Amino acid sequence: MSSSDNKTIAILETTILYLHQYIIPLFILLGDIGNFLVLFIFWKRSWRRNVCVFYLTINLLINTFYINFVMLADFLTAFEIQPNNYSQIYCKIHTYFVELISILSPTILILASIDRLLISSQNVDTRLYSSKRLAYFLISINIFFWMIYNSHILMRVNIQEIHFNELLCYYDLSSFYLRFATYSTLIINCCLSLTMIILCLFACKNVQQYRSLTRQQIRRMTKKDFQLLRCLFAEDIVYIIFSIGMAIYKVYEATTIHRTRTWKKQVIIDFFEHLNEFLHHIPYCLSFYVYIFISKAFRNEFKRVFYRLHGKDVNTIRDEEIKAENIVRS
């Protein structure tokens, strides 16, 4: 192996180490703080009455669990703390929850998109289906379904000897099951991503038609409803962008796992695995920052919370809002 190959391998291994030791804990911190702030704001009465906020709250709880269970375990690998590669029970439970949470988050976003589609409908009867009662039912059914669907992981995931003297918590290496686990995950993720985009586009189309009607024709959506729709659309896009790489990597890994690899090639594959895992983590940490950037109502609510914590007059925000509206009108 040439010196340039050794240098490339050293750079990739160092990058992976820095990614786990410094970048991932930074995102864990930002994600936890951001999710806590969003949950605090969403718990206020003016927000929690909204059905879409209920869906987003459930999604935030799922994301927080992901950050402190999946991402934290990823961080510990930098210090060679990998109990899933030594304990069969932990291996099964860890893999089960990783797959379950990874599929629950986009599912909840889809349910929230359905709610936005219902609330933006011109038909009064259709809008009545946007209710917390339906939300409780749909969330419960979907959680139960995905728990049952992923139960095969508890039986077929074990500590495997992937390469010589290399133990890894992984799917059963039989070709049929490995292909089933890989391609079913890929198909499900593609279907979920496509569904999210289609529902949001239909909701946006409804909004355009909605705005052309008069108040006498239809009850108006609130500004908060419009902004929540934009936030939801942004979250869908963020999730899709950062999840594509992981889906592609899983297909590659499943189709080449039995091939002999050189040390350099294995290091390159490991680098792309860790990079795609990190990219897959990002959407679970960004909700707060998406809402702050997209929603004016959320920004103002955050300012109110910030002002109250520092003992400032909340009326200052109202004055700023009035000035901003006057500037826009002029």
227 within 8 A of 295, measured Cβ to Cβ: yes
Query: What is the chain's Cα-based Rg?
Result: 23
Look-up of token digits 């959680």: 143
24 within 8 A of 75, measured Cβ to Cβ: yes
Look-up of token digits 């979920």: 192
Choose the weakest-confidence range: 82-91, 165-174, 178-187: 165-174
| pLDDT given at position 314 | 59
Query: What percentage of residues in the chain have a pLDDT greater than 70?
Result: 85
Checking if the pLDDT of 284 tops 80, the result is yes
pLDDT tens profile 192-238:
888 888 887 787 777 676 655 545 444 556 778 888 888 888 898 89
Domain parsing of the chain, residue ranges: 3-294, 295-330
Q: What is the spatial distance between Cα 125 and Cα 296, in angstroms, rounded to a whole number? A: 30
Neighbour tally for 281: CB within 10 Å: 22
Which is more confident, 143 or 248?
Answer: 143
Q: Token pair of 109, please? A: 């976003």
| pLDDT given at position 167 | 78
| pLDDT given at position 315 | 62
Hey, what amino acid is at 143? Answer: I
The pTM score is 0.85
Question: What angle in degrees, to the nearest 10, is found between the helix axes of 88-119 and 223-256?
Answer: 140
* Closest of 117, 244, 98, 245 to residue 157, by C-alpha: 98
Fold of 3-294: Rhopdopsin 7-helix transmembrane proteins (1.20.1070)
The arithmetic mean of pLDDT across residues 49-59, rounded, is: 92
307 within 8 A of 317, measured Cβ to Cβ: yes
pLDDT tens profile 270-283:
788 888 888 989 99
**What are the phi and psi torsion angles at 171 (to 5°)?**
-65, 155
| pLDDT given at position 81 | 81
Which is more confident, 179 or 208?
Answer: 179
Choose the weakest-confidence range: 50-59, 251-260, 286-295: 251-260
| pLDDT given at position 220 | 55
Checking if the pLDDT of 33 tops 70, the result is yes
| pLDDT given at position 330 | 41
